[in-house]
Amino acid sequence: MVSTNHTSDCPTTESERPLSTREHAVRSILTKSGIRCTRPRLLIYETLCDSKAHPTAEELHQTVKQSAQGISLATIYNTLDLLVDNGLARRIANRCPGSGASRYDADQDQHIHLVLNDGTVLDAPKHLSKQLHDAIPQELMDELAKHAGVDALKIEIVQDSPSSTEHAHSH
């Protein structure tokens, strides 16, 4: 269950040092989203925001462990679920054979992911993402959403190619 708490509910560190502008901004984002702000959640979200690699939960855990030894993999998974449920992160399902681990992205801007055959996820340049999205008529998006029985629709484009690149996940 997610509870709404005030920014003061999120501790800084054991020594209660003053917060940096960035830490204050991240705390504010979490609390405005109704997420109780704890030090592990702050660190996990901050680390995800800093990553351009679209990490798996396990990869994020390895990175976070360098700063906070006591954070468990279960805490990573629970926090990622909370972030996804509250619209602060996206879960990118891995469709590559042999690697079922989802990847995560804190970038909420509309963009396209390029999914490589090895499961690596890259962001397409913003201008190309926008061009592709703009090329799909809104009427078609609305019709697809109506047909699917949903209010919002995410289109996934998968293209196999001889060059070992799969293009996927338009947001």
Sequence ranges of the domains in the chain: 7-91, 109-170
Determine phi and psi for 104, rounding to 5 degrees: -130, 150
For residue range 102-142, what is the model confidence (pLDDT) as tens digits?
A: 999 998 887 888 877 777 888 888 888 888 888 888 888 88
Give the residue carrying structure tokens 């504010």: 28
Among 20-34, 36-50, 58-72, 136-150, the minimum mean pLDDT is found in: 136-150
Residue whose tokens read 């629970």: 78
Q: What is the pLDDT of residue 15?
A: 42
pLDDT score of 146: 82
Largest Cα–Cα distance of the chain, in whole Å? 55
Q: How far is residue 24's CA from residue 26's CA, in Å, rounded to a whole number?
A: 6
What percentage of the chain has pLDDT greater than the value 90? 29
The answer to whether domain 7-91 has CATH 1.10.10.10 is: yes
Task: Please indicate, yes or no, whether the overall pTM of this predicted structure exceeds 0.75.
Answer: no
**Confidence at residue 161, expressed as pLDDT on a 0 to 100 scale:** 43
